Chain A
Amino acid sequence: MIKLRNVSFSYGENEVLKNVSFETGDGKSLVIMGPSGSGKSTILRLLLGLESPHEGEVLINGDNICTMSEAQKRETRKKMGMVFQDGALFDSLTVGENVGYYLIEHTKMKFDLIGEKVEEMLGFVGLGGDNVIDKLPEQLSGGMQRRVAIARALLSTDPKLMLFDEPTTGLDPFATRNVLNLIRKVNSEKGIATIVVTHQIADAIEIADKYVILHEGQVAFDGGLDELRDCSDERLKNFLEPFRESFRLVLGKNFVDC
């Protein structure tokens, strides 16, 4: 179980998160939304222990990641997967080595076997037939790199939590569909908890059990879809306004009072 309790965080003078609290259960799917710069990526960084909050606690299964030793942090991180907003592929390694990174580093698995798993995972994200395995990340398009990043995060021994930072941004509709199916599959078939940051409300509705909406570093909303629809918070209405259309398309009905 993941829990943020009264977390505040700043980059220098810039106060990014103010008293943020929310939680999500094992195997649940949480979607974090909010305007650009509201601190979504920062929350994922806090969950991985890449940054430490100035106040409050980040609890992973009851353990505060901020007070762990480096070795404990490493063990905790092995149970998590992260897809960075910009992919963050290792640019000196081939696509195959990127995707197999976890297995190469943390297991004694045979090289051939890793190769097979990598192929399989690349097929899973729709890059099977393209012969990308021996290419370098820079030789791929942005959307392909993103899918490689997703494959890399998924190919670990047994993750308990997957973090996706805007996994579908910049993908064509077909790839978007694949990635969303993938996230749902990870969540429902493997029982892995997912936390997904996205701007696409249609995507969010498809995968979320629960929504957290940030506004200027504070939690503006925390709850399920029904509550979201009935919510009358002004900030929230403003944020959701641009998505009115997609809401209607996806749900076949309006949100809030329209």
Chain B
Amino acid sequence: MYLIGIGSMFLIVLTGIFAGQGFALAFSVELADFGAKNYLGRIMSISIVRELGPVLTGLMIAARVASGITAEIGAMKSSNQIDAMTAFGIDPMSKIAVPRLIALIVMVPVLTVFCDAIALAGGWVISIFIAHVSSTMYWAAVKERLVFGNLLIGLLKPVVFSFVIAYIACYKGFTAEGGTKGVGKATTESVVLTSITILIVNFFITKVVFSYLKGYL
């Protein structure tokens, strides 16, 4: 839990701040063409809370934590530790996978919220110094779009991503075969597969929510 949480914090701060600034920069130029720079906050709010924050956080955790989980379980398997656990009359699946899943379910949403906040702050810096939108204007616009629906999506996604990460990472670890090399391969596959799955699942969540929850958005 500590490793997933605090360990990933720095990464999330970096990603969040630069992604937020990049987005804000691109949007502000485009919006300026329409004379709609004051909407910057709204667009930032929607894109970050609903899409960017969860996906970025999910991908970072996939890279950092899924690889770790797969490698750890794979190494335990190849050194017979999983068998030893089984021989003690313990179900290694629940013993190993469940605590990691719980840690992810707690930490990924927290980190996502954190990432959202940092990215919005990054946008705020751009809005003041480059886009010349006033601070009050920006935050008011941001707040306007922090409605129930958006927040729900923004928090539902990381929870779903946690399951994706835990399931794939553990599965790849438990099925790793062929010693050290096999563990390396499983780890790579685990990161690639979780990342892709997160992107795909992200799309479908957005899609489903758009169909059913339109009124709240």
Find out whether the CB atom of A91 lies under 8 angstroms from the CB atom of B79.
yes
A106: chain B residues within 8 A (beta carbon): 88-89
Find out whether the CB atom of A50 lies under 8 angstroms from the CB atom of B83.
yes
Size bracket of the A interface: 20 to 34
- Residue in A closest to B79 when the chains form the complex, CB atoms: A88
Find out whether the CB atom of B88 lies under 8 angstroms from the CB atom of A88.
no
B134: chain A residues within 8 A (beta carbon): none
Taking the complex as formed, is A189 at the interface, i.e. its CB lies under 8 A from any CB of chain B?
no
Find out whether the CB atom of B91 lies under 8 angstroms from the CB atom of A90.
no
Find out whether the CB atom of B83 lies under 8 angstroms from the CB atom of A45.
yes
A77-102: contact bitstring with B at CB < 8 Å (1 yes, 0 no)? Answer: 11011101010111100000000011
B80: chain A residues within 8 A (beta carbon): 84, 86, 88
Taking the complex as formed, is B81 at the interface, i.e. its CB lies under 8 A from any CB of chain A?
yes
Could you tell me the distance between the alpha carbons of A102 and B85 in the complex, rounded to whole angstroms?
10
Find out whether the CB atom of A77 lies under 8 angstroms from the CB atom of B79.
no
Taking the complex as formed, is A70 at the interface, i.e. its CB lies under 8 A from any CB of chain B?
yes
Find out whether the CB atom of B86 lies under 8 angstroms from the CB atom of A50.
yes
Taking the complex as formed, is B90 at the interface, i.e. its CB lies under 8 A from any CB of chain A?
yes
Taking the complex as formed, is B1 at the interface, i.e. its CB lies under 8 A from any CB of chain A?
no
A54: chain B residues within 8 A (beta carbon): none
Taking the complex as formed, is B87 at the interface, i.e. its CB lies under 8 A from any CB of chain A?
yes
Q: Which of B63-98 touch A at CB < 8 Å?
A: 76, 79-81, 83-91
A90: chain B residues within 8 A (beta carbon): 76, 81, 84-85
Could you tell me the distance between the alpha carbons of A35 and B202 in the complex, rounded to whole angstroms?
55
Which residue from B79, B86, B88, B91 sits with its C-beta under 8 Å from A101? B88
**A82-B84, A84-B84, A88-B84 are known contacts. Are A105 and B90 too (CB-CB below 8 A)?**
yes
A89: chain B residues within 8 A (beta carbon): 81, 84
- Residue in A closest to B90 when the chains form the complex, CB atoms: A105
A253: chain B residues within 8 A (beta carbon): none
B89: chain A residues within 8 A (beta carbon): 74-78, 106
Which residue from A45, A74, A84, A91 sits with its C-beta under 8 Å from B90? A74
Taking the complex as formed, is A48 at the interface, i.e. its CB lies under 8 A from any CB of chain B?
yes
- Residue in B closest to A47 when the chains form the complex, CB atoms: B87
- Residue in A closest to B85 when the chains form the complex, CB atoms: A90
- Residue in A closest to B86 when the chains form the complex, CB atoms: A50
**A84-B83, A88-B83 are known contacts. Are A102 and B91 too (CB-CB below 8 A)?**
no
- Residue in B closest to A75 when the chains form the complex, CB atoms: B89
B81: chain A residues within 8 A (beta carbon): 88-91
Could you tell me the distance between the alpha carbons of A81 and B86 in the complex, rounded to whole angstroms?
11
**A88-B79, A91-B79 are known contacts. Are A77 and B88 too (CB-CB below 8 A)?**
yes
**B100–chain A nearest beta-carbon distance, Å:** 13
**B163–chain A nearest beta-carbon distance, Å:** 22
A50-71: contact bitstring with B at CB < 8 Å (1 yes, 0 no)? Answer: 1000000000000000000010
Find out whether the CB atom of A48 lies under 8 angstroms from the CB atom of B87.
yes
Could you tell me the distance between the alpha carbons of A232 and B35 in the complex, rounded to whole angstroms?
101
Find out whether the CB atom of B79 lies under 8 angstroms from the CB atom of A86.
yes
B130-160: contact bitstring with A at CB < 8 Å (1 yes, 0 no)? Answer: 0000000000000000000000000000000
A101: chain B residues within 8 A (beta carbon): 88
Can you offer 21 A-B residue contacts whose CB atoms are under 8 A? A48-B86, A48-B87, A50-B83, A50-B86, A70-B91, A74-B90, A74-B91, A77-B87, A78-B89, A84-B84, A88-B79, A88-B81, A88-B83, A90-B76, A91-B79, A91-B81, A101-B88, A105-B88, A105-B90, A106-B89, A156-B88
Chain B residues within CB distance 8 Å of chain A: 76, 79-81, 83-91
Chain A residues within CB distance 8 Å of chain B: 45, 48, 50, 70, 74-78, 80-82, 84, 86, 88-91, 101-102, 105-106, 156
Top 7 closest A-B pairs, CB basis? A88-B80, A78-B89, A88-B84, A77-B89, A74-B89, A82-B87, A84-B80
Interface contacts beyond A48-B83, A88-B84: sample of 14 additional A-B pairs, CB < 8 Å, sorted by A: A50-B83, A74-B89, A74-B91, A77-B87, A77-B89, A78-B89, A82-B87, A84-B80, A86-B80, A88-B80, A89-B81, A90-B84, A90-B85, A91-B76
